[in-house]
Structure 1
Amino acid sequence: MPETRVEVPEMVMLEILSKLPVKSLTRFRCVCKPWCSSFQTPHFITKHHRNNLHNNNLNLLLKRCQGPCNGLLCLHDADKVAFWNPSTREFKTLPQSTVQRPPSVDSTSFDCFGIGFDSQSGDYKVEISVPGVEPYGSPLFNNYVNGFYYWRATGDSDHLILSFDMVNEKFSTLPLPEFGGSLAEYYLELLDFNGLLGAIVYPRGGTDKSFDLWVMNGSWTKQFSIESLLGVERPLGFWKNGELFLDSSDHELVLFDPSTRELKNLGIHAYQETMQIIAYVERLVPIN
C-alpha cells in the first residue's frame, strides 16, 4: 500500500509555530530557509507576541536594569546603554546620545533611563533627558505603559508625574494620586497595571505594612488595598493571577496571594534594596 503524505498548508504551519517558545523557534530556523525567513517577518513576530500575551506566558527575571518593552530590556552603566533580548540572547550597545541636557540642571539628575516603542515608526527609543524637571530616584517597576514612559519627578515646588510620548517625543505632566499622606511618610512607585498607569503606595516606616494600588484611567481611582502585612518591606511586582512579589524584612523574595493572604517564601535572597524583578513575555524581535 503506497505511503500517504499529508501536506500542511503554510499558513496553518506558521500558526502552529507561532505558539512555540522562542528557544524552539531558534532551533527550527535551521530546518529550512522559508521558516528562517518567516520567523523574522513583523507579522510573525507580532503574532507570536500576541499568542504569548493571550496565554499569559510570563517569565521572571531578577534585574539591575530598566524596562522591559515588548520583551526587550535596557541595560545601563553610567553613560553606557545597551538593548538586550533575554529570549534570543541578542545584545546591542547603543551609540552615545546626541540629546543635549538643559544647562540649568545638573547632569547627575538624569539617572533614570526609559525604554519605549514608537508604534508609528516601528522602532524602539531610549529617553535619557528630561527638560524642566528632575527625575526622582530610579524606577522600581517597569514604567513603560502603552506608548508612554513615566517618571516620578520634582518640579519647582511640588512632586508630579512626568510622561514621555514615544511617538510624538513630547513631555507632559500628571498629578500624583491624592492618597491622604505625604511623600515624607509614604513611598509611591509607578507601574504598568493591565495596560494602565498604576501607582502603589506604602508606608516608609513601621513593621505593619499596607499597600494601596491606584490606577489612572482619566482620573486616579484606588483599585484595592492590602492591609496589615507583617515581615515585609516593599513590593516588587505582580504575578499572573494578581499575586504580589514582596521583599521581606530578611530580604528574601516572597509571594503574597491576596485571596488567601498566604505569604510564600521563594528561597531567593538579595542584598538590601537591590532586589528587583520583572515579568516579561518572550519575543522574537531582532535588535542586531
Structure 2
Amino acid sequence: MLEDMTIEILLKLPVKSLLRFKCVCKYWYTLIRSSTFVKKHLHHQSNNARLLVHYYNCSTLEYSFAFFQDKTLATFPLVYYDVDGVVIPNNPNIFGHYDGILGLYDWDSIALWNPATREFRFLPMPNPDIPPRFSVLEHKFGFGLDHTTNDYKVVCIRTYYYSEDYEDYHSAVIVLFHLSTNSWRLFEADLSRVTYVHESSCSTCLNGVYYWLTSVLDKLEFRTTYFYNKILTFDLSNEVFGDIPGPQDIPKLNLGNLILYDESISVMCFDQREVEKYVDIWVMKEEGCWIKELTIGPLVDVGKALGFWKNGELFLETITLKLVLYNPNTQEIKDLQHDGPYDMRKIFVYTESLVSIKEGNEC
C-alpha cells in the first residue's frame, strides 16, 4: 500500500523533480528509470501540455526557442539561443515531436532533443548514393514510435532534382533510422506519384503511422501554384508507404497544414485572400472520409494560424508578428506578450517526458 502511494505521488511530479529524486535511494532510482513508470508518467493526467515556440529571423539568420512553463501561459517564457549548451550549426528546424522528444535538423546535421531531461543526441547523417547529375533539393522527415518493437524511428525523404532540368524531373530516396541500433538503412519505395511533400506544422504521428500532406503542381496557370492531392502515410511497424485521398473541396489558393485535431488527422486551411480571414478545419473521420468540422472567423489583422491549444483555443500570428491566443467561443484575443523581429514562427504543444534518448539506454 505504501509503495503504491509513493508511486502515485511521484507520477504527479514534473520531470525536473523526478531527475533529482533518482538520487534519494536505489529503489527510487530504479523505479523512475523503469519503462513502466516512464510510460505512466508520460500519460498521467497531471502531466500538462507545454508550449514551445520556435522563432527564426530570415534577415539575421538567428533562431531561438521559447518555453512557456506555465500551463496558463501567463508566465514570461524561458528563451534559449542554443540547445542545452550544444551549438547547432546554421539554423535548426524542428521536424516534429513525439513522447516529449523533439527532432531537429539543418542542412548538415540531424538530432533528437528531450528538453525536460536535457538530453541531446546527434544522429549520424545518412549518405545514400546520389544519382549522376542530380543535386539535393530538400529533406522531409517523420518521427514516431514503432509500437511493435518499442523502437523510435525517423524516416527521411531526401528529394533530388536533375541538375539540367530543374522543373520536370525529381527523384526521392528514403532512409530509415532506428534509435535502438543508431543506424540508417536505405528504404526502397516508389514515390513517383508524389510531386511535393509538405512538412507538418506539428507532429502528425498517430497510432504508429506518420502522415504528410502532399500536393501537385498546377501547370495550367502561369504561376507556381500547388494544390493538395493526397495524404502520404508511413506505417512505422510494417514499414510500408500508403496514400489516402485528401479533402477535395479545399480551394486551391488556401494555405493548409496537416495537424492533429481532437486526436484525429486533420487539415487546417487558412484563407488569406480577403481582409477578413477564416480558418477551416477538415477532419478525417475514417480513411478518405473528410468532414469540415468547424470554421473560425472572421479574423482581422491576422498573418497566419499556427495551431491549437487547449479547449479549442487557436494560436495566431498577427500581421505585426505578435503571438496571440484566440478563443472562438468568446472571440477574445489574448496577447502572450512575447514578440520580436522574428518570422517563420512555429508552435509545438507537447508533454514532458522521462524517455531517454542516450545511446545504450532503454528507449
Q: TM-score, normalised by structure 2?
A: 0.71
Look up the SS of the partner of 1:24 in the other structure: helix
Q: Deviations over 1:14-58 (max 9, x none)?
A: 12211211011011011011111111111001110110xx34601
Does the 8 Å CA contact 1:82/1:91 hold for their aligned counterparts?
Answer: yes
- Say if 2:249 is the partner of 1:179: yes
Matched with 2:80 is none
Q: CA deviation at 1:165?
A: 1.0
- Say if 2:9 is the partner of 1:16: yes
Q: CA deviation at 1:156?
A: 8.2
Q: CA deviation at 1:208?
A: 0.9
Matched with 1:111 is 139
- Equivalent-residue separation in structure 1 for 2:283 and 2:135 (angstroms): 32
Q: Which amino acid aligns with 1:278?
A: F
Does the 8 Å CA contact 2:41/2:47 hold for their aligned counterparts?
Answer: no
Matched with 2:120 is 91
Select 2:42's aligned residue among 45, 49, 58.
49
Does the 8 Å CA contact 2:195/2:217 hold for their aligned counterparts?
Answer: no
Q: CA deviation at 1:166?
A: 1.1
User: Matched residue pairs, number?
Assistant: 276
Q: Which amino acid aligns with 2:355?
A: V
Worse-superposed segment, 270-279 or 129-138: 129-138
Q: CA deviation at 1:134?
A: 4.3
Matched with 1:127 is 155
Look up the SS of the partner of 1:241 in the other structure: helix
TM-aligned CA distance change 1:10 to 1:114, over 3 Å? same
- Equivalent-residue separation in structure 2 for 1:29 and 1:56 (angstroms): 19
Q: CA deviation at 1:148?
A: 1.7
TM-aligned CA distance change 1:56 to 1:19, over 3 Å? closer
**Following superposition of structure 1 onto structure 2, how do residues 1-288 of structure 1 map, counting pairs within 5 Å?**
9-51=2-44, 54-55=45-46, 57-63=48-54, 64-97=93-126, 107-108=136-137, 110-129=138-157, 130=174, 131-132=191-192, 133-154=194-215, 159-182=229-252, 185-218=253-286, 219-271=289-341, 273-288=343-358
Does the 8 Å CA contact 1:256/1:264 hold for their aligned counterparts?
Answer: yes
Structure 2 gaps of 5+ residues are 55-92, 158-173, 175-190, 219-227, 359-363
Q: TM-score, normalised by structure 1?
A: 0.88
- Equivalent-residue separation in structure 1 for 2:4 and 2:329 (angstroms): 42
Q: Which amino acid aligns with 2:211?
A: Y
Does the 8 Å CA contact 1:165/1:171 hold for their aligned counterparts?
Answer: yes
Q: Which amino acid aligns with 2:121?
A: K
Structure 1 gaps of 5+ residues are 1-7
Q: Which amino acid aligns with 1:118?
A: D
- Equivalent-residue separation in structure 1 for 2:284 and 2:25 (angstroms): 47
